[in-house]
């Protein structure tokens, strides 16, 4: 499991340790919680570790919380941000919102308010990760298939649904054509006309997309992923995967190690 990381940044030791204690009790070991006493230290830590949620004070010596957020943004570090402050000046809140802050808590912070803010932040992290996963596994050729007006071609829509539900089985064009009550030859030309891919190309690309999802979201061995994706042997699966993705399944998993569980 990929443990989520929370970073607390505050120059006041008492506040910093108090927030950490609250969160450690709530997290019960499910989250990794770091602390930093200043913005510079926090930036260094965020370069070394993937920080999912950043909780930071605004007013700190040397580098303010807002300056730190600008620096993080410039360096393409994008945690979900919660700002804490003893001040409620409007310009602070405005600037914080421009920098992508999702919550603004005023000191003294109650345990309830902190936990509620973190739970909202976790949902935002999960939303971002799902979006990132979709972006990584998407196959542009599948996206660009001509599925407009498929309501006028119900057999093709039914065929797509059938293929998607049976990716881990042996799938033949005749089997799917029979399922939608069409002659295999006519089904083949109709499918290519509307999908801009042959039947076999579509099935292969959907299987590899399924494999990419499994590689990123599970710890299943390559053999099992091959089977789940409809390939009888891992060797053949690896060959097809490399042809489409330019790398082996293992390399793909390693390159996309920020997995969603």
Q: What is the pLDDT of residue 196?
A: 87
Residue of 69, 67, 28, 24 lying closest to 51 (CA atoms): 69
Bridge partner residues of 34 (DSSP): 7
- Is residue 2 scored above 90 in pLDDT? no
Measured CA to CA, the distance from residue 83 to residue 21 in angstroms comes to: 18
pLDDT-based confidence at residue 260 (cuts at 50, 70, 90)? very low
pLDDT-based confidence at residue 259 (cuts at 50, 70, 90)? very low
Query: What are the φ/ψ torsions at residue 29 (nearest 5 degrees)?
Result: 85, 0
**Domain 140-255 CATH class label:** mainly alpha
- Is residue 85 scored above 50 in pLDDT? yes
- Is residue 141 scored above 70 in pLDDT? yes
Distance of CA 179 to the CA centre of its chain: 35
Report pLDDT digits (tens) over 27-58. 999 999 999 999 999 999 999 999 999 999 98
CATH topology of domain 4-131: Rossmann fold (3.40.50)
Report pLDDT digits (tens) over 174-231. 999 999 999 999 999 999 988 889 999 999 999 999 999 899 888 899 999 999 999 9
Domain boundaries, the chain: 4-131, 140-255
């Amino acid at each position: 499991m990929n443990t989520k990381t929370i970073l607390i940044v505050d120059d006041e030791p008492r506040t910093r340790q108090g927030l950490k204690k609250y969160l450690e009790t709530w997290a019960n070991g499910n989250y990794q919680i770091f602390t930093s006493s200043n913005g510079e230290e926090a930036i260094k830590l965020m370069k070394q570790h993937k920080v999912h949620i950043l909780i930071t004070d605004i007013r700190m010596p040397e580098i303010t919380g807002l300056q730190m957020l600008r620096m993080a943004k410039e360096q393409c570090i994008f945690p979900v941000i919660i700002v804490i402050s003893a001040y409620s000046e409007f310009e602070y809140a405005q600037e914080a919102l421009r920098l992508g802050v999702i919550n603004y808590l005023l000191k003294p912070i109650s345990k309830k308010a902190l936990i509620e803010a973190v739970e909202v932040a976790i949902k935002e992290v999960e939303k971002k990760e799902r979006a990132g996963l979709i972006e990584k596994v998407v196959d542009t050729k599948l996206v660009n298939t001509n599925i407009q007006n498929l309501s006028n071609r119900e057999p093709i829509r039914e065929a797509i649904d059938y293929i998607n539900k049976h990716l881990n089985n042996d799938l033949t064009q005749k089997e799917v054509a029979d399922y939608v009550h069409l002659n295999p030859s006519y089904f083949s030309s109709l499918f290519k006309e509307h999908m801009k891919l042959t039947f076999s190309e579509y099935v292969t690309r959907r299987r590899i997309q399924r494999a990419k999802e499994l590689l990123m979201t599970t710890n299943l061995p390559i053999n099992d992923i091959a089977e789940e994706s409809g390939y009888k042997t891992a060797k053949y699966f690896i060959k097809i995967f490399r042809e489409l993705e330019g790398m082996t399944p293992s390399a793909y998993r390693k390159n996309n190690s920020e997995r969603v569980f």
